[in-house]
Structure 1
């Protein structure tokens, strides 16, 4: 697993091999990550990455958030409550020398609580598939003030997610068993 674009392009990240079923770790493949960033960069709604504050829910290895940093995001908050995921994200932050531009929270993504910092303009949501956790996590992020007006949400699932109001779905693409849904929070 490598960073596929930007200033850190080619950086090899620590990975979990084929995944960690007990930790629900299923890293986004390089191919799907590249497709996601192509959608963001070339989308009709403007590129949300440069200068963005990013929220990476169910962070796993942290590859999505680190890819965003590599492509010009200002800051990433990684959220995962798994011990293995925490170790992987911490290791990958160190490999990217990104300690000053990241926060790592050991927290259940479905119960984020109140955000005490600036809201995020880009949200990655990659929950364990088909368990309804994405819907709970995005509801928690919206309720806690984690999502800025105008923010773009990138949601990976195996099936079409139930995108809650006030989010508006703007695109959806399938890559193998991964369905990527893009949504936007109206505003700004």
Structure 2
């Protein structure tokens, strides 16, 4: 049992395989969970950047080639994009006509975790023969006082990234707000080091 604990957290719950919270050790599907901590370590700005680093996933960008708001076709282990279901908090995010999903417009800062099922999940999610990508956003705050953070980073070619978040509770209503922006003068054209 100690060896098993080295590879997964026993109490880690996943929702995607069965639509109900279940321990990751009790599901038969091939599932990858990308945690909030892993997303921060990647320094990713969008969900598309996070998914591009998940083994077995292939992303091809359309309508803006990876720019903010562009659509992306997600393929899991060679499946067609129309057979991959993309969910945000359990709600379908794919366009009906193409199967594409607008993952480049979802900031990585609002993500609690991403669950990726590789392989058929049609018993729980319909025609998702290739797999399911479930993007789970951060919950509303639980404290009576608002809590939040502000981050900024700068780089070459006037690259900038600003992010701010605040969460809390006001009576029966919980809230989580996120704002951010990115800007750059473009790619570096020289290779001088």
Q: TM-score normalized by structure 2?
A: 0.25
What TM-score, normalized by structure 1, do the two folds share? Answer: 0.25
* Structure with max Cα Rg: 2
Which one has a larger percent helix, Structure 1 or Structure 2?
Answer: 1
